[in-house]
Amino acid sequence: MLVELVKVSRFPSSPWLAQIRTPFGGTSVRWCGDQGAKPGTYHVEWTVDEDIVWGWNAKPAVGVGPGVRAGVHCVVLRGRLSRTVDGAAVLDLDGTQIPLDLVDPLPEDVDDTWVELFIEREKIALYPYEL
């Protein structure tokens, strides 16, 4: 996914965080690239390092369409949720597939629906790459 990097910064006892913008919102998340990265556009891969629990940190979306925003002490990702054959799940965030680990199987009726994930910002990482 292509994101606009606004800045990379670090606070005491915190990982490097990137303030980013996308066409459908912005937030700050863990940055796993060059800490001296300059503002600009970067292709990134997203990872979520938090187990997904339906009804706790994953809920039906309010509205449709992809979204990224800051929540209260978290990041909110809105995308289409799909189950995988092996019992995990994938969040489609505007064409970018983010693999997810589930604590319990998802309810049948949430497959291929718009959902919102509420994840601690340190548990979402962006890995920049070059094409």
pTM: 0.94
pLDDT tens for 56-105 read 999 999 889 999 999 988 999 999 999 988 888 999 999 999 999 999 99
Compute the distance between CA of residue 115 and CA of residue 126 in angstroms, rounded to an integer. 20
Decide if 61 contacts 116 (C-beta within 8 A).
Answer: yes
The secondary structure of 60-71 as a DSSP string is E-SSSS-EEEEE
